[in-house]
Structure 1
Amino acid sequence: MRSKQWNIAPPCPEEARHLEQALGLSPLAAQVLAARGIRGEDAARFLDSSLDRLGDPFLLPDMDKAVAALEGAIGRGEKIAVYGDYDVDGVTATAIVIRYLRSRGADCQYYIPDRMNEGYGLNTGAIRKLAEDGCRLMVTVDSGITAVEETLLARNLGMGVVITDHHECKEILPEALAVVNPRRSDSPYPFRELAGVGVAFKLICAMEKNRPLEELMKQYADLVAVGTVADVMPLVGENRSIVHWGLQYLENTRNAGLRALMQKLGVEDKGVSAGAISFTMAPRINAAGRMGGADKAVELFLTDSCRVAGELAGELCQLNRQRQQEENQIFQEILERLSTQFDPQRDKSIVLWGENWHNGVVGIVASRLADRYGVPAILISLDGDMGKGSGRSVPGFHLYGGLEECGDLLEKYGGHELAVGLTVHRSRLEEFKKRFEDYAVRQMEENQVQPVLQVDCLVEPGDLTTRAVESLEVLEPFGMGNPQPMFCMRGLTIEEITPISQDRHTRLQLGRDGKSFCAFLFGMGSANCPFVCGDQVDGAFSVEINRYRGRESVQLVLRDLLWSGEEDRADRDFREVYQTFQQGGVLEPYQALGLIPTRQDLVAVFRHVKAHAGERGLRCSPRTLYRQVRYEACRGMNLGKLLICLDVFQEFDIFSCTSGDEQMDIRVLERKDKADINGSRILKRLAEASKSQG
């Protein structure tokens, strides 16, 4: 687990008590709001999810022109094309606009570009095809804001263009009939953070300005909520209201496709939340686009047939299984390579390439690697002489800036601070890898990049009752801009460690003060877990209610786990004493005694390393290794003793060790004769130091 900096908000007892009294909040919910600086009238506004929070759609620039263009096309019976995108935001936006146009009797069709062959956004081939199909008006959703040349082509082919988008605008806007985007510099709209599907919904609201907003929400808010959450938009302001109501309508959705998908995934039984959308529903919808079948996702949300919806939902789940298989194959291949090609003590980036990796999944794998190793990761799929890649960053590292630094080596590139795409010639890969690593080293050193974890408050075991955890629901929906509350508890004891899901994840039993909690480390198997039973740890986690066979219990979802203060101090102390000894410094007798291993200690270390070191040796954390040995055989083992044992085995060419502060590589060497470690110079020096009176 990579080291994170914990920013624990200072306690605000007075503010929390005021929120309890003024808004009727539970103590735990009030503490979270106060810790986030949401107090007084701000807290009341934050918790307000009423439909009054939704802005007037005609405040969006060009909305009146967009309505006029659509009404004109519908009135004249012209064919209308909706041009979307292959992610969840684009798919849901496409679906609600097509549903609306069909409800008006419009002649319409949709177009979703193929991720593999066309990529994101408008392209000339698609525009020519739509014009040949007889389309006279094209409405873009979740795309088009930078399509200056493509819009001009559409006009020349006799097709008007209405752009609805939410991405950042450039200085020059396309010359369309209307450009509706809350991020336009001249936009008076009070909320800039709408998703693409949110902007599309505002277009429908404008078209239906005389209908009650509540009716429109009942009709479309379920899909709008799914797209908004999946696109990781901030769940504050208008988005909070949209998602709040959308989740309620999802519970009993009239959309056959949504209902079929939720049934397939068992979401209905567990209750629909923003988390269920993010981690369960969205990956299945996205898988269609990643694997080249985004049209299936659109059709899922357009069909009124329960039978067809069930079949399409099944196909999306199958595509997601294919996506997972492709992803895991690439991920495992890369882990094998990184075991010999990546040094976490030295390397500040990951740049790797492979033959014909699936372009639709390399971005997900890059994200997993960035999260696992705490460095930016770029993966490139090679096909012939060219490679297409995706990169993901870590907070504080500007990934797009790294590509700009190497821009002369790339055929093309784009993206932003945290995610990029690129095309590069095979012959330039090695130079690109070196140049990008040089940039990463400079950036990491200058900016001292380290993952940061924002913790809302420290809690005690008695604070986490089922009633207290349930009271946090008032703060939902959780997501970007309103993250799930994060808590910290110190001095927990690890009572059990259990691998789950074929050791892709780990379940821990953590105890303190006679109370026990079930906790989960997702994305880390027990084989890579640095902790052992009996360790004292501090945990940072979110909380949830586990309901099983009529019983309820609080469970923890761990975001980070550290050895507790006492354990951490002991490790630091023994390391300092060991380093003093290594450098020839003078030890107090008690310090030397703390480093001297017994014969049992030496045997236990030797047996453990030999049992776990394969042909490539053993890569591990010394802090973990000594705890494993202590747990298996030697209760008196400490970090200093372990390091001395390894030095003794190196002294007699039994082991070869190379180490940094947090990782070491140990190889078992071939010996023809037995070594007599009683003659160890290291052990003699320690014995003499233990008897000296200093």
Structure 2
Amino acid sequence: MRWTLKPIPEPNKVKHLQETLNVSEPIATLLVQRGIETFEEAKTFFRPSLDDLHDPYLMKDMDKAVTRIEQAIANKENILVYGDYDVDGTTSVALMSTYLKTKTDNVATYIPDRYNEGYGISYQGIDFAHDNDFELIIALDCGIKAIEKVAYAKKLGIDFIICDHHRPGKEIPEAVAILDPKREDCNYPYKELCGCGVGFKLVQSLAQKDGQTIEDLLPYLDLVATAIGADIVPIDGENRVLAYFGLQIINASPRPGIRAILKQVKKDQLTITDVVFIVAPRINAAGRMKHGNFAVTLLVEEKYDLAKEYAKDIETYNYDRRETDKQVTEEALKQIEDKKEQKRFTTVVYHETWHKGVIGIVASRLTETYYRPTLVFTKSGNKLSASARSVSGFDIYNAIEACSEHIEQFGGHKYAAGLTLKEENYQAFKEAFESVVAQNIDKNLLVPEVKVDVQINLNEITPKFYRILKQFAPYGPNNMTPVFMTKGLIDTGYGKCVGDDKTHLRITVSQPDSSNFVGIGFSMGDKFDIVKERKPFKAVYSIDENEWQGNVSLQLKLRDIKV
């Protein structure tokens, strides 16, 4: 691993904040690194407030969207709430449909089939709307590139409102309204909302027109927080406020569907990380293994007993997903065992039988193993579909866009994308992608990096220090869990490899003039030689709590150790 120590902020700024807030130097440093330099900025960070949410009408086309929905409600038009099959899409659909049903009975939902229709707006979905007399489609977490499909719907007399957060192309669809903070002509102050976040801003606008306050909308924030965590959007600005209050709802009074999921895994207080690794995969599993409709049904269910039954089904899909993911990952890794493949700057693998529902997860696992921009392809109808994942610091969306002559369709973000191409173009695309990445990537990015926030000594880790540190949460992009480095550590002699297969490392570290701390390093058993016989070493780690037999103590969650 590369250890990169973040630049030390200007000492005067750190000292000023240290004195203003009465906190230690490492805490003040962490804050300044996050752009927090004044008492007021610290107050906003540590005490998120619903008053910090922006006026939704600052978003381009918001007035048009609200007017069209009010018209549909007044005229008793049928409204179809349409969303993608992943967590962001299904939570968006659940949020929007649940809210609209408090205003009108003429609301239905539509999630495209991952396999028969693929990502985003489909002709099949539009035909469904036409056949069932829907006059308005509200598309969430998709649609920003659906130019031909929106035009097709218009010919059939169906209006579109698009709520998306993906990057637009050179043109945008001719919809009644397009809500997307990433539109170049949109001056909305916060650009990093997820799809469900954009949907929430539309709901907020409608609610304002009806005289409702933001407090009236709190019950919807469990969905928004789940989408923020799952979609790996930055957790700063408005997202931080939405995630903070959404987590409170999840932990205090979640909707029956989320409560039923949590009951199965016997988890009480969730962090955003728990949402990412416990709630999100289960919601996602429906669209991956069966159909995204099952996730929406679970999330909109108001009766807990019914939600429990739906959650059992979802748990089955999640088990199947894990087994399939494991098998496909093993097969994909075998393809890369070829020495020629390992010398490439990219990982691009394909098998026609791989389950389309898990290729995104497999791409993530391959990226973790070989640390290169990665695409995993499978056959989808008469085309090939791929999920793409990148390494930190490299924009895979731009790299794919540079190969667009070989592609039928693509979309996504800097670190995750999807694409479709004809089978005969696969090899040409693979070579073009390799060439683009080889020419543009900083070779340092191909070595896993751990970014270190602050260097500290063990005696600076006190109960007060950790109490303040906990208030930095919720964590995520742009506000990651703080990582510390400490030099001159010695294991007290109790270090050992632990776990069934002895692959993990457990040490007790000491430093002059400090208490001892237990350190846990998962999959770091092979580094035991570094710490044995009381040899000095340095470590990078985060800090968390360990509960054992009713006793709670602070421990170091090791990221890496070196001589």
Name the TM-score, length of structure 2 as normaliser.
0.89
- SS of the residue corresponding to residue 476 of structure 1 reads coil
Pairwise CA distance, 1:342: 5.9
Pairwise CA distance, 1:531: 5.4
Q: Are 2:534 and 1:548 equivalent residues in the alignment?
A: no
Identity in percent: 33
Contact 2:356 2:380 in 1 (8 A): no
Q: Which amino acid aligns with 1:324?
A: R
Structure 1 residues 113 and 450: CA distance shift in structure 2, 3 A: same
Contact 2:112 2:119 in 1 (8 A): yes
Q: Which amino acid aligns with 1:220?
A: Y
Structure 1 residues 151 and 468: CA distance shift in structure 2, 3 A: same
Residue in structure 1 matched with residue 2 of structure 2 by the alignment: 4
Structure 1 residues 317 and 107: CA distance shift in structure 2, 3 A: same
Q: Which amino acid aligns with 1:392?
A: R
Residue in structure 1 matched with residue 206 of structure 2 by the alignment: 207
Q: Which amino acid aligns with 1:488?
A: M
- Give runs of aligned pairs for residues 176-195 of structure 1, distance below 5 A: 176-195=175-194
- SS of the residue corresponding to residue 179 of structure 1 reads strand
From 275, 278, 284, the equivalent of 1:277 is 275
**Greater RCO structure (CA 8 Å; 6+ sep):** 2
Structure 1 residues 321 and 471: CA distance shift in structure 2, 3 A: same
Distance 1:424 1:184 in 2: 26
Contact 1:5 1:450 in 2 (8 A): no
Distance 2:253 2:42 in 1: 30
From 279, 302, 305, the equivalent of 1:304 is 302
Distance 1:432 1:192 in 2: 31
Contact 1:142 1:165 in 2 (8 A): yes
Structure 1 residues 531 and 466: CA distance shift in structure 2, 3 A: farther
Distance 2:277 2:131 in 1: 40
Structure 1 residues 496 and 361: CA distance shift in structure 2, 3 A: farther
Contact 1:29 1:475 in 2 (8 A): no
- SS of the residue corresponding to residue 360 of structure 1 reads helix
Contact 1:116 1:292 in 2 (8 A): no
Q: Which moved more, 1:290-299 or 1:33-42?
A: 33-42
Pairwise CA distance, 1:500: 3.6
Distance 1:65 1:185 in 2: 18
Residue in structure 2 matched with residue 34 of structure 1 by the alignment: 32
- Give runs of aligned pairs for residues 623-662 of structure 1, distance below 5 A: none
Distance 2:285 2:194 in 1: 20
Distance 1:539 1:459 in 2: 11
Distance 1:203 1:74 in 2: 15
Residue in structure 2 matched with residue 56 of structure 1 by the alignment: 55
**Count, aligned residues:** 554
Residue in structure 2 matched with residue 320 of structure 1 by the alignment: 318
Contact 1:9 1:457 in 2 (8 A): no
Residue in structure 2 matched with residue 684 of structure 1 by the alignment: none
- SS of the residue corresponding to residue 290 of structure 2 reads coil
- Kindly provide the CA deviation profile for residues 158-214 of structure 1, in whole angstroms up to 9, marking residues without a partner as x: 222222222222343222222222222232322222221111111112112153434
Q: Which amino acid aligns with 1:211?
A: G
Distance 2:520 2:290 in 1: 37
Q: Which amino acid aligns with 2:55?
A: D
Pairwise CA distance, 1:254: 4.8
Q: Which amino acid aligns with 2:517?
A: S
Q: Are 2:486 and 1:486 equivalent residues in the alignment?
A: no
Pairwise CA distance, 1:385: 7.7
Residue in structure 1 matched with residue 293 of structure 2 by the alignment: 295
Contact 2:489 2:536 in 1 (8 A): yes
Q: Which amino acid aligns with 2:57?
A: F
Distance 2:146 2:426 in 1: 30
Structure 1 residues 321 and 520: CA distance shift in structure 2, 3 A: farther
Q: Which amino acid aligns with 2:299?
A: F
Contact 1:28 1:472 in 2 (8 A): no
Structure 1 residues 183 and 351: CA distance shift in structure 2, 3 A: closer
- Give runs of aligned pairs for residues 558-597 of structure 1, distance below 5 A: 558-559=558-559, 561-564=560-563
Contact 1:58 1:64 in 2 (8 A): yes
- SS of the residue corresponding to residue 119 of structure 2 reads coil
Structure 1 residues 163 and 286: CA distance shift in structure 2, 3 A: same
Q: Which runs of 5+ in 2 are unaligned?
A: none
Contact 1:497 1:532 in 2 (8 A): no
Distance 1:398 1:57 in 2: 29
Contact 2:392 2:445 in 1 (8 A): no
From 332, 356, 359, the equivalent of 1:359 is 356
Q: Which amino acid aligns with 1:94?
A: V
Pairwise CA distance, 1:24: 4.7
Structure 1 residues 273 and 155: CA distance shift in structure 2, 3 A: same
Structure 1 residues 12 and 320: CA distance shift in structure 2, 3 A: farther
Distance 1:363 1:232 in 2: 14
Distance 1:185 1:441 in 2: 30
Residue in structure 2 matched with residue 162 of structure 1 by the alignment: 161
Contact 2:408 2:420 in 1 (8 A): yes
Query: Over aligned residue pairs, what C-alpha RMSD do you find?
Result: 2.9
- Kindly provide the CA deviation profile for residues 333-370 of structure 1, in whole angstroms up to 9, marking residues without a partner as x: 333444454675x4433222234111121221121221
Structure 1 residues 393 and 18: CA distance shift in structure 2, 3 A: same
Q: Which amino acid aligns with 1:320?
A: N
Residue in structure 2 matched with residue 654 of structure 1 by the alignment: none
Pairwise CA distance, 1:482: 1.0
Q: Which amino acid aligns with 2:32?
A: A
Distance 2:143 2:495 in 1: 53
Residue in structure 1 matched with residue 111 of structure 2 by the alignment: 112
Distance 2:432 2:99 in 1: 51
Residue in structure 2 matched with residue 69 of structure 1 by the alignment: 68
From 450, 454, 469, the equivalent of 1:453 is 450
Q: Which amino acid aligns with 1:300?
A: L
- Give runs of aligned pairs for residues 253-652 of structure 1, distance below 5 A: 253-268=253-268, 271-341=269-339, 346-382=343-379, 387-403=384-400, 413-423=410-420, 433-434=430-431, 436-444=433-441, 449-493=446-490, 495-500=494-499, 506-513=504-511, 515-521=516-522, 524=523, 526=525, 534=532, 536-559=536-559, 561-564=560-563
Name the TM-score, length of structure 1 as normaliser.
0.73
Contact 2:34 2:479 in 1 (8 A): no
Contact 2:82 2:110 in 1 (8 A): yes
Q: Which amino acid aligns with 1:278?
A: V
Pairwise CA distance, 1:302: 0.7
Pairwise CA distance, 1:556: 2.8
- SS of the residue corresponding to residue 388 of structure 1 reads strand
Distance 1:410 1:214 in 2: 43
Contact 1:387 1:425 in 2 (8 A): yes
Distance 1:78 1:468 in 2: 57
Residue in structure 2 matched with residue 628 of structure 1 by the alignment: none
Q: Which moved more, 1:395-404 or 1:544-553?
A: 395-404
Contact 2:167 2:412 in 1 (8 A): no
Pairwise CA distance, 1:400: 4.2
- SS of the residue corresponding to residue 55 of structure 1 reads coil
Distance 1:68 1:448 in 2: 48
Contact 1:355 1:382 in 2 (8 A): yes
Structure 1 residues 108 and 383: CA distance shift in structure 2, 3 A: closer
Contact 1:122 1:147 in 2 (8 A): yes
Structure 1 residues 382 and 167: CA distance shift in structure 2, 3 A: closer
- SS of the residue corresponding to residue 103 of structure 1 reads coil
Q: Which amino acid aligns with 1:55?
A: H
Structure 1 residues 77 and 500: CA distance shift in structure 2, 3 A: farther
Pairwise CA distance, 1:256: 0.9
Pairwise CA distance, 1:42: 3.7
Structure 1 residues 409 and 211: CA distance shift in structure 2, 3 A: closer
Distance 2:289 2:324 in 1: 10
Residue in structure 1 matched with residue 250 of structure 2 by the alignment: 250
